């Protein structure tokens, strides 16, 4: 495979697909991994994460051959476009990649590049683990109760971007169709209106929920909670819920039971090796994640709910500066931190790279390198617990040592060397 303006590293091998049906990968000990540093603070946190991931790979007898690719501001400088074909092709071909934050304008300009990458590569599950690291200041009393993984559907819902702008001929045609042919009266106010469509399909819902259930079974998790607003949006979010229960019954047999079955048939005593599927209304779930944190384990939800919910959960363990994420598809993954690009801090070597580093940890897990992934988490946690932190955490703790972005990465690498 040749590219216009990027080079394929000669010291690495491509990850390949072992089984088309299952999406299982063949991962060499020196895989080629595309990386997008990202916009804004991506220029700082991207290289910092690379150094840490290199150290973890080396400590476990492996190496990563990084393939630098571009999106957003760096792509505009190099290609005069936001998402060049080189980048999409590199990630599609090499199957596992990592990216930093990319800036999305509010209200105007191009649509989200993050969403574009997920949709173009059919990365349908945005997986966001939320767990507490010792030493991180938190606004809640018992942040250690949080150990949750959110599976957020990536390709549908209002994030599909099917909308029409107020004042255009297109939006008036949609209004005429809705009010005239569909007979929906007295809903849309007179005057300018923007209209969007919220698609939720059986196919998209089931493959996302299947991914969440498979994860729960493989990782000894107790439950999968379907989060929805089906009491109001009965035929979209309500359908998501119904399709989830249908999938559980049709495909998993006795491995998966419902919450009703747990109490009606087992008197609340969950059989060993099973996963309980339950559901919660979205607004109630935002309350319960605070008041009953440890009752929830794996969450499966739609795109917009997942964005809100995972950010709220992240606040309980110290904020988005330490919140990792990974987008997963069939035999393909793109790791990325949850936080944005914070352009005012770009190039200052100041911000916290933990979210990017821990997103890299999720990438290592996806590669099957659990030993390297564990090293990354342990080293990050022990570094923070020792008081060696970036400015955002330093201002909240006493007696710590304030480090630059690069210095924090160096401290984590030193800790990996100690632990290995």
Which residues carry a binding-site annotation for NADP(+)?
A: 103, 339-345, 352, 391, 395
Query: Which residues sit opposite 32 in a β-bridge?
Result: 65
Query: Residue 258: exposed, middle, or buried by beta-carbon count in 10 A (0-12, 13-18, 19+)?
Result: middle
Instruction: Report residue 89 as tokens.
Output: 């092709």
Question: How far apart, in whole angstroms, are the C-alpha atoms of residue 104 and residue 126?
Answer: 18
Task: Determine the straight-line distance between the first and last CA of the chain, rounded to whole angstroms.
Answer: 36
Backbone angles phi, psi at 330, to 5 degrees: -85, 100
Query: Residue 2: exposed, middle, or buried by beta-carbon count in 10 A (0-12, 13-18, 19+)?
Result: exposed
Task: State the binding site for D-threo-isocitrate.
Answer: 112, 114, 118, 128, 152
Task: Indicate which residues carry an active-site annotation.
Answer: 159, 229, 283, 307
Question: How far apart, in whole angstroms, are the C-alpha atoms of residue 352 and residue 392?
Answer: 7
- Are the CB atoms for 313 and 130 separated by under 8 Å? yes
Query: Residue 23: exposed, middle, or buried by beta-carbon count in 10 A (0-12, 13-18, 19+)?
Result: middle
């Amino acid at each position: 495979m040749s590219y216009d303006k990027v080079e394929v590293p000669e010291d690495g091998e491509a990850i390949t697909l072992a089984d088309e049906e299952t999406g299982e990968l063949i991962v060499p000990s020196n895989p080629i991994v595309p990386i997008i540093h990202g916009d804004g603070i991506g220029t700082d946190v991207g290289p910092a994460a690379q150094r840490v991931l290199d150290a973890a790979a080396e400590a476990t007898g492996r190496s990563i051959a990084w393939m630098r690719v571009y999106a957003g501001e760096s792509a505009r400088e190099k290609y005069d476009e936001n998402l060049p074909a080189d980048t999409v092709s590199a990630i599609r071909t090499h199957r596992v990649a990592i990216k930093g934050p990319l800036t999305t304008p509010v209200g105007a300009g191009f649509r989200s590049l993050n969403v574009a990458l997920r949709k173009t590569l059919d990365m349908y599950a945005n997986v966001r683990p939320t767990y507490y690291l010792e030493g991180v200041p938190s606004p809640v009393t018992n942040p250690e109760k949080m150990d949750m993984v959110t599976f957020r559907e990536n390709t549908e819902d209002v994030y599909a971007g099917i909308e029409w702008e107020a004042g255009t001929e297109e939006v008036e045609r949609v209004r005429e169709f809705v009010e005239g042919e569909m007979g929906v009266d007295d809903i849309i106010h007179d005057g300018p209106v923007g209209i969007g469509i919220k698609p939720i399909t059986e196919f998209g819902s089931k493959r996302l929920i299947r991914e969440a259930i498979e994860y729960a079974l493989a990782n000894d998790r107790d439950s999968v909670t379907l989060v929805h607003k089906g009491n109001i949006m009965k035929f979209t979010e309500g359908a998501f819920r119904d399709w989830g229960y249908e999938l559980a019954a049709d495909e998993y047999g006795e491995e998966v039971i419902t919450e009703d079955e747990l109490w009606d048939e087992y008197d609340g005593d969950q059989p060993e090796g099973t996963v309980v599927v339950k559901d919660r209304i979205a607004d109630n779930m935002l309350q319960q994640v605070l008041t009953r944190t440890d009752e929830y384990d794996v969450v499966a939800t739609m795109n917009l709910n997942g964005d809100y919910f995972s950010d709220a959960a992240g606040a309980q363990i110290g904020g988005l500066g330490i919140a990792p994420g990974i987008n997963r598809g069939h035999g393909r993954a793109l790791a990325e931190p949850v936080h944005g690009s914070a352009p005012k801090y770009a190039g200052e070597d100041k911000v916290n790279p933990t979210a990017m580093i821990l997103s890299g940890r999720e990438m290592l897990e996806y590669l099957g390198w659990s030993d390297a992934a564990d090293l990354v988490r342990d080293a990050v946690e022990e570094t923070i617990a020792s008081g060696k932190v970036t400015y955002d955490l330093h201002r909240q703790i006493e007696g710590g040592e304030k480090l630059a972005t690069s210095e924090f990465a160096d401290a984590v690498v030193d800790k990996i060397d100690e632990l290995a």
